[in-house]
Structure 1
Amino acid sequence: MNPILIEKIITVCNDKITKKGENVGLSFYAFFENKNENPELLMEVAEWWIKTNKLDHFEKAVKIKELVLELK
């Protein structure tokens, strides 16, 4: 996965965890703006989320952060 995207996912997860606690859930849309400015990047994350990791629509931010840190 794109290193810039990995850092963004970690940042978003940290922010959500700080604001809402360890049990906060999120979907892969949380890493993008409301408008789809980069469909290739969105599809990269969707494939990683759905095909590679077989995650549910909403997952705990802590779990996503751990999975992404393994990619570094």
Structure 2
Amino acid sequence: MSQDGAPNFVSIPNWVRRTGISRSKTYELLAAGELSARKVGRRTLIDLKAGLVWLDKQPAPKISMPFAKRRRTEVV
């Protein structure tokens, strides 16, 4: 654990719960070298700090107006 109480490494299921990134996508990112991890016995542990830095560098989504709102303004 780090000094602030957060773990340095997290399991794959924990990473998936924290980030919402699927298990399959997580393994793809690990294979591509985008995320770093360590093996401890049979467990794969992701470097949480590095993973969150990677996640922070991802582009923000482009969010458009929901279809229902567009339709109401166009019909009126």
Query: What is the TM-score when the length of structure 1 is the normalising length?
Result: 0.43
**Structure with greater proportional strand content:** 2
Query: What is the TM-score when the length of structure 2 is the normalising length?
Result: 0.42
**Structure with greater proportional helix content:** 1
Greater relative contact order, per chain length (Cα 8 Å cut-off, separation 6+): 1
Look at both structures and tell me which one has the larger radius of gyration over its CA atoms: 2
